[in-house]
Structures are given as structure tokens and as C-alpha cells.
Chains A and B, each alone.
Chain A
């Protein structure tokens, strides 16, 4: 299965130069000439799109219960009635007038990728709210098949839909499915195999809009993958992507269009997207009343009660604490970082793997320098592979497991609304809960998901906080272990980190220009996560993690080996000494910090090894500085990619100085007070 990451889309779409745009279009049109037919899935978040994708391809990619966690655009292949298709799962979108970056990507796929068949997946029980997008897609003359998914849930809720009636009214193929059970997939395959493009139902707007649409359509000369009518309507709704596309294609002709557009817009008192959306909705409501019947009453069962307990602060905060305690502290911190790591590190690596490799290396490689490259203190095997497999794998794996369960259960959106008010204080919205929670797993992955946040300001604040005050799970696991001997040290660590998180967030929200973000979110129903989904999701994330980071582990081992061999390492350690003694730490910790620069968890793990040589206060100070310390190289690379070199470097420099400053102050306060931990 070809997995085209979102990054490559961004590279293509984000660039402003005409050159790359055209190249992109050419590439796309070449692709469409290839023999594979293209099937694109679109629809709101939380309608079971990804699950349907998996049913069609037979292979699994992340199914998300939360708007905004589909990190990559997934594509797969499938065979329907002897014909091969390429299937693309687009990020969730509510409407063709996009708001978020993900919606933009989905729209751009539609505008530039020329699908052969478009499956618009909707939640059958919320069909009325989602049909306006179907109408927009029909308007665009895109080859739409409407998929009424989650039909089982709709039937349980007492909703009856006459699918064939709806099919007649819309004049496009309509299928009802339940992707979780596989119901309706065969009919869907049949509709896809038999698909022929037809003119679907056209919505008529009021006269003033219609005449403007007509005039603009007449002016359009370029070739577009969607209908001029649809482009004109989007232009009237002041959609900036469509504006840009038309400007590019029309060249000098654009000024006429622009004049006409401004003239038309000035005639309306209300924004046109409001008027157009209202009309589409009216049509949708009419259709729904003609083809369906809702005889169910909304029952407040156990799920609903639990959901309400989760969102009520009185019960929600204790639930959150319980989730953190059991999910993070006990399971990830205790079981994975403790028992599992112990077992793999001492039993498998210490007792068995390391001696084996050591024996092999010493007997077959005669040069000492080369030997140490593999089994020296910083060797590829000793440092790279051991840490990757013995420490990172169990901890990060356990974290991803917990995260997938939370995600599939629908808990995260509830957490987001519970914490929105607090997040507003640090310039973020409840939506930022995803990168923040994910950051406790892997800061690099989390920094990538900050792109789902709406404003640049929010993305910058979240990136900074992730770099500074969110420890990743590997690091967290080791810090728990290091500070485990003294619970007061652990609590102090939690307080200091939380304090810095709030202070820096608050300061950033005051300093950075712009207004606070708004928060709005659909709450998917609570669901019992399916074990198979959870396991596959965890697996997919772990694979991503290792693909991105394992080579880096090895590279770092080689680099440090090189630095040690040439004596540069000693030099850096020497240079670090004054800084370390200023924050009350012994020389032995220098190596820890240097490792920490490459990977935060390496640093923490290094600390683990020298913990006996340090006092309680020194351990706490070291743990705090390491937590705040610069993000690992991988996270830094993602920061540069996502935020740009300038911003990333500025953040990195700030974090570096700030971490040592906090360490200095903490040591000063603790030693002045004569605290012993």
C-alpha cells in the first residue's frame, strides 16, 4: 500500500510559485492518464470514512474518532469487479468552503486530482446536516456516489431512510452501509462498478445569485476539473483557494471577474456563504423530510450518562485524573517503563543479546575503534539498538496503545471541551489537547499534528510548549524511574514543569500578536474501542515512529562515537562544566545533557544510569533541566519543517537558555532552603 504522507501534499500545495503549481497539475493529469481509476473518499470527520476505506482496500490505516488526527492522507488499492482502483482517503471536511488546513487539503484533492469516482460518506443519522456537501459536490459536476454509512446506528435510533427514493431525487447512486459490520459493502462495490456520470439534482438559488453565477461562469475561460457554476459559487463565497486558482488560470481576464465579483458582493447585506449555505440546507431538509422518517426518541442511556459525567467538571476532573493515573502513571510509567523495560533490558539484552554481540564483535573485528563503534559506551548496539528496543519500544508502544484507546472511545473531544477554558488562558483552544496529549507520547509526532490548530499563533504556542514543557513518554518513563525513590521529588518535578508550562504559555499568549482562538467541536458518540482497531492503530504509529526515528538513533550513535574518538566529546563536556556547576550538578551529568540534545530520552536514560552518584536535589534539578531542555533532534527537524527555520531556531535557543535558568533558580532555592530529597 502506497502511503503518501501529508508532507508531500504540502510541498506541492503550499508553494506559491506558478512553476510548481503547474508541475503539480501536470503530474496529476499524467497520473489520471495511467490505467488505475481513482476513487476518493470525502466527508465530515467521524462518519466512518477511514473504516470504510479499510473495508474497501482490505488493509488497515488509522481510523480516527477525532477530527484532526489523520496525520497522513492514506491511499490504497483495490479491485472491484475486475477493475483496479487507487483509493484515497481525504481528511475530514465539512464543506467546500474550507476553514482548517485539512479541509483545504481535501478541497485541493477535489479541485486538482480529478477523481474518477467520489464517495461522499455521510453519517446516516445526521444525513440532513451532511447533504448540503453532497449538493455542493453535485453542483461541481464531480462523479459522486452518496454513501449513507452508520446505517445500523441510524436504525437503532429509529431512523428509516428510503435509499432508492433518495437516489431518484438526487439522481446519483446512493448506498447505505455499516462499515463496522460490513453491511452494504457488496452493494457499494456494485454501484462503483456500474458507475456512470449523470447530472444530479441542481439547487437553484435566488435570482440575484443565479444571475451573478451566470455572468461569472460566462467569463471563465480556463479549463477546470469542476464546473464553472460551482467555481462561481465558491468565488461568491469568497473562497481564497478558488480565488487563487482562478487568478492563475485566467491571467489578465481575472480583473473582469474580480470587478464583477466586487460589484455583486456589494449588493448583498449578508455574507453570501450564509445565504448559499441556508439555501443548500433548505434543500437538504426538504429531501430528508421526503425520504426519511425519524420515529426514535433520544434516549439517555448509560453511554450518555457516562459522556455527561466526562464533560461535567465535578465528575470530569476526577475521571481525567483516573485516566492519567491508570493509563499513564500505572500502565505506561509503572508497567511499561518499569517491568517491561527491566525485563527486556536485563533479561534479553543484558543476559543474552549483549554478550552474544560482544563475543561476536571482539572475535571477528580486530580494530578497537571499530569494536567500540558497535559495542562501546555509545556504540550502535549498546546505545542505539539497546535503547531503541529495550527502552523506547515498550514505553512508546504502551503509550500509543493507551492513546489509541482514548481516541477510539471518543474521550478526547470531551476532554477538549472540559479543558478549553484553561487552554484559552495560555492562548490555545481545547482543540490543542490532541497535540498536547500526543506530545506525552512523542513530541515529534505531536508537533506535526499542531497543524490541525486553526491559527498560526496557536500553532506557534503549541510548538513552543511541546518543545519546552511536555516530556515525551520515553523521557517520562525514565524520569519516573529516576525520581521513584522520593515521592516528594516527583511531586516537585510535576509542579515545576506545570508551573513553567503555564507561565510560558501565558507569557506567549500575551506577547504574540493576534486574538485567542475559538473552540467548536462535534462530539462523536462514546464507543467501546474495537481491540483490532486499537492494535492496528498502535502498530501503525509504532511503525511510523521507528521508520522516522530508528535511523536517527543509529546516526547519533555513530556521531557520538566519532566525537569521542576525536576527543571533541571531552572538549564539549569540559565546556559544559561551568554551566553545570552553576546549577549544582556534578561533571558526570555533562554526558547526559549532550545525549539529551540528540534525544531527550537518551539523556534521561543516561541520568538513570548515574542516579546513584547524585543527591536527591541534584537528581531533581537534572530531571527538570532535561525535561525543559531542547527537544530531540527529530522534534527539532519537525519544528523546522512545520514552523520554518527562523521560528524553530529562535524557539530552540530560548528553550536552551530557559532550561538552564530554571535549573539554576531551582537549585538556588532548594539549597538556600536546605531541602533534602
Chain B
């Protein structure tokens, strides 16, 4: 595997996005606007090629750009759907996250999220290999990877907001995230904090859970701010 710098990865990302937004325009001016060092790196890696009309993306470059954008959008999706981040928080975290999604992490996340098609902004996420191998875009469970099994094992260990947990499920609170300051304060005041073990007693009409020797009742709104790592 070729070593590529984060700056070069981001440059490839920009090229991809540019191409998405302006499919008819030539890439050259966009590429030429990059830092000369980045251009050199991309050139050395044979991701871009200089031709008569200026720079062009090679097929290797296209493949690499696709992977980078895929990692970025998967990261966004993960941060948005599972951890409840949005806006700038999500963007900053995703930018850092995409660079460390190596060695099976990317596949696991893709599985965990049930192979999403679109990022939180609604842009397409390039499909993973198992989907392209399978022949049709949305197919799950083809020969190459048993996606459904993957999803299942991962979901069992996943983090869920409390309002998505089922009756009888147990877990440990891992995270409190609320956009409303008031809600956060209420949750903290009740002593509902990361590290606490809980069991869901009832989910309707209110979410009732056992937390150590106490039972608590909360509405969906508050329950949605409590993220639980469930163990079964």
C-alpha cells in the first residue's frame, strides 16, 4: 500500500467533490490551485498525470479519491447517526476520523451502519467492494462478505440512544449528548452519567429504566440524549 499524506488525501477529496459538482468542467485549474508539494506527491504516486490540457486524474487516482471520499462520508454518517454530532462538530471530527479508518475499520463501520448510500448531507457514499462485487448496488449478503452476519455481531456491541433500546436490554451509559443545555443539566442532576449500568424496563408510553437501585422514567426527548453501550 502506498503511503499518502493527509494533505494529499484531502486534495483528492477536493478533486472528487469538484468533479461531483462540475462534471463537465476540466479538472486542471482545480488541481493547479493546490500547493506545489501536494501536486508533486500526487504526481509521484501516479494519481495525477500531466497532459496537454493540464492535469488529469489517473484511474488509480480516481480509485484512491473514491476511497478517501467514502471514508470521509462514512465517518460523517457514523458521527451523525450514532454519536449525534452535527454541523461543524461533525465536520471537524470526520476530517480527523477519515485518516485513521484503516485495517478493517472502514468495513466494520460500513457494516455497522448497514451500508449507507448517502452521507448526512445527502451526497452519495461510493459503495464498498462487497456491494460492487455483488453486481447490484444495494445487495447485501453476497458471496464475498456476509454483511448481515457482520451487522448483527457489530450491532450487538453497539452504542444506542436509550430511546432506541428495547425492553429488557441492558448496557452501560457511555455518552450524554444533548443540544439543549437544560436537558443535559436534568440528566446530570438525576445522576444519569457515563459508567452507570442500566436495564430497560419499559419503552412506552415513557422510557423506564433501572439504574442500580433506582428506577427512572424519562420521555423520548431525554432518552435520546443518553447513549448506551448495550451488551445484549
Contact = CB atoms under 8 A, between A and B. Distances in A.
A418 B206 CA distance: 7
Given A274-B176, A278-B194, A308-B202, A523 B215 contact: yes
A430 interface: yes
B217 A277 contact: no
B183 interface: yes
A107 to B, nearest CB: 12
B190 interface: yes
B212 A273 contact: no
Q: Is the interface of A mostly helix, strand, loop or mixed?
A: helix
Q: Give the most central of A159, A312, A419: most B CB within 10 Å.
A: A312
B11 interface: no
Interface string B20-63: 00000000000000000000000000000000000000000000
Interface string B188-232: 111101110000011011101011111111110110000000000
A8 B157 CA distance: 54
Interface string A264-297: 0000000101100110010001000000000000
A429 interface: yes
Contacts of A419: 205
Nearest to A281: B193
Contacts of A422: 205
A523 B208 contact: yes
Contacts of A518: 182-183, 186, 218-219, 221-222
Interface in B80-118: none
A118 B206 CA distance: 36
B212 A128 contact: yes
B205 A126 contact: no
Given A420-B205, A421-B205, A519-B222, A271 B181 contact: yes
Contacts of B119: none
Interface in B165-188: 176, 181-188
A427 to B, nearest CB: 14
Contact of B185 (A97, A157, A307, A418): A97
Contacts of A308: 201-202
Contacts of A523: 208, 214-217
A129 interface: yes
A119 B40 CA distance: 72
A418 B212 CA distance: 22
B185 A273 contact: yes
Interface residues of A, number: 42
A633 B185 CA distance: 39
Interface in A27-86: none
Contacts of A420: 205-206, 217, 219
A274 B176 CA distance: 9
B219 A424 contact: yes
Interface in B112-150: none
A416 B215 CA distance: 14
B205 A94 contact: no
A129 B213 CA distance: 10
A132 interface: yes
Given A278-B194, A313-B205, A157 B181 contact: no
A99 B216 contact: no
A555 interface: no
A520 B216 contact: yes
A423 to B, nearest CB: 10
A401 B95 CA distance: 63
Given A313-B205, A421-B205, A522 B186 contact: no
Given A311-B202, A313-B205, A520-B217, A99 B193 contact: no
A522 B222 contact: no
Nearest to A94: B189
Contacts of B183: 518
A312 B217 CA distance: 12
A460 interface: no
Contacts of B210: 298
A94 B193 CA distance: 14
B163 to A, nearest CB: 12
Nearest to A316: B205
A413 interface: yes
Contact of A95 (B181, B189, B216): B189
Given A94-B191, A281-B191, A521 B217 contact: yes
Interface of B: 176, 181-191, 193-195, 201-202, 204-206, 208, 210-219, 221-222
25 contacts: A94-B190, A97-B185, A126-B214, A130-B191, A277-B188, A277-B193, A278-B194, A307-B215, A308-B201, A311-B206, A518-B183, A518-B186, A518-B218, A518-B221, A519-B206, A519-B217, A519-B218, A519-B219, A520-B190, A521-B216, A521-B218, A523-B208, A523-B214, A523-B215, A523-B217
Closest 7 CB pairs of A and B: A129-B191, A417-B217, A94-B189, A523-B215, A417-B206, A519-B219, A125-B213
Interface of A: 94-95, 97, 99, 125-126, 128-130, 132, 157, 159, 271, 273-274, 277-278, 281, 285, 298, 307-308, 311-313, 413, 416-422, 424, 429-430, 518-523
Given A129-B191, A424-B219, A429-B219, 8 more contacts: A128-B191, A129-B211, A273-B185, A285-B195, A313-B204, A418-B205, A430-B206, A430-B217
